[in-house]
Amino acid sequence: MKVISVNNLTKTFGTFTAVDNISFEVTKGEIFGFLGANGAGKTTAIRMLCGLSKPTSGTGMVAGFNIETESEKVKASIGYMSQKFSLYEDLKVWENIRLYAGIYGVPEKNISAKIDQHLQTLGFEKERETLVKALPLGWKQKLSFSIAIVHDPKIVFLDEPTGGVDPVTRRQFWELIYQAANRGITIFVTTHYMDEAEYCDRVSIMVDGKIEALDSPKNLKNKYSSKNMDEVFQRLARKASRDAD
């Protein structure tokens, strides 16, 4: 079952083509890595998929809804975590979960069970009443992820979720991602860490607004006769003519 299908999606700003005619599909429960150098057009593409910006041309379906005409329904079926840390620092851990559960319309009667469940998954039972600003960065990122999936979305978009996080916490973060994928949540993730790209079921590599490669990490490594994803990425990204932003 396809949860994302994109056909010839294009976004131009004046004469600049940020996203150039991309097409791809993502299957339910898949961990899809969306790679590309800075300025390759990843963020613009994600913004269109989340209903934040309208495509110049082309179509996209996310969770069964048209991204252009049904953006409100798209928004209700996805979760989103941005590269910037974005919880409320002056609210307690559980209040942050409570807030987003409410915004995403989780039924009132389920909310306290949800809070307990997420605190338990994170091992945060003791931090329930802690203000978020007192948590270490890695913990905040894990909490952000939990909150992005608090309403059991069909898809969760993670935009560089592990930026600046230590290796041990990154490992734990990916365990959370696997748990969510096992529950049937599709993961759409961008990252600059190529070891993380290896964890994905499939990856796409964007160069200058176009998708240059799309396959499983194993097939890509074979195709480009590389030892690891880092080499694959270097070969493709070197062709880029655009400056990083």
Partner 1 sequence: MKFFSASQEKLREMPIDMRQFLIFIKKEFYHITRDKWTMAVLLLLPILMLLLFGYAITTEVKNTRLAVYDPSHDKATEAIINKLQANDYFILSQILTEPNEIEKVFQEGDIGLVIVFGERFYENIMHTGEAQIQLITDGTDPNTATTLTNYAMNIISSYRLEILTTNNIPFQIVPNIKLLYNPQMKGAFNFVPGVMGMILMLICAMMTSISIAREKEMGTMEILLVSPMKPIFIILSKAVPYFVISIVNLTTILLISVFIMGVPIAGSFFWLITLSLIYIFLSLALGLLISAIVDSQLIALLISGMALMIPIIFLSGMMFPVENMPIGLRIISEILPAKWYIVAVKNLMIKGLGFSSIINELLMLSGMTIFFLAISLKKFKIRLE
Asked if 137 touches partner 1 (CB under 8 A), the answer is no
- 181: alpha, beta or left? (left if phi > 0; alpha if psi -120 to 50): alpha
Chain centroid to CA 198: 16
For the chain, the straight-line distance linking the first and the last C-alpha, in angstroms and rounded, comes to: 36
Positive or negative: CA dihedral 98, 123, 195, 162: positive
Q: Which DSSP symbol is given to 243?
A: P
Choices 7-15, 88-96, 168-176, 217-225 (CB under 8 A): range interacting with partner 1:
88-96
Cβ burial of 160 (10 Å; 0-12, 13-18, 19+) is middle
45-84: contacts with partner 1 (CB under 8 A): 50-54, 72, 75-76, 78, 80-82, 84
Asked if 90 touches partner 1 (CB under 8 A), the answer is yes
Asked if 98 touches partner 1 (CB under 8 A), the answer is yes
Asked if 170 touches partner 1 (CB under 8 A), the answer is no
Identify which of residues 88 and 178 has a Cβ nearer to partner 1 in the complex: 88
Choices 28-36, 61-69, 96-104, 193-201 (CB under 8 A): range interacting with partner 1:
96-104
- CA distance linking residue 81 with residue 62, whole number of Å: 17
Asked if 243 touches partner 1 (CB under 8 A), the answer is no
Structure tokens, 11: 């976004």
Asked if 108 touches partner 1 (CB under 8 A), the answer is yes
Positive or negative: CA dihedral 220, 222, 223, 229: positive
180-239: contacts with partner 1 (CB under 8 A): none
Asked if 109 touches partner 1 (CB under 8 A), the answer is yes
Query: Are 153 and 77 a contacting pair, CB within 8 Å?
Result: yes
Instruction: Number of residues interacting with partner 1: please give it, by CB under 8 A.
Output: 35
Identify which of residues 187 and 207 has a Cβ nearer to partner 1 in the complex: 187
Among the listed residues 87, 158, 197, 205, the single contact to partner 1 using CB under 8 A? 87
Positions in the binding site for partner 1 (CB under 8 A): 50-54, 72, 75-76, 78, 80-82, 84-92, 94-95, 98-100, 102-105, 107-109, 112, 157
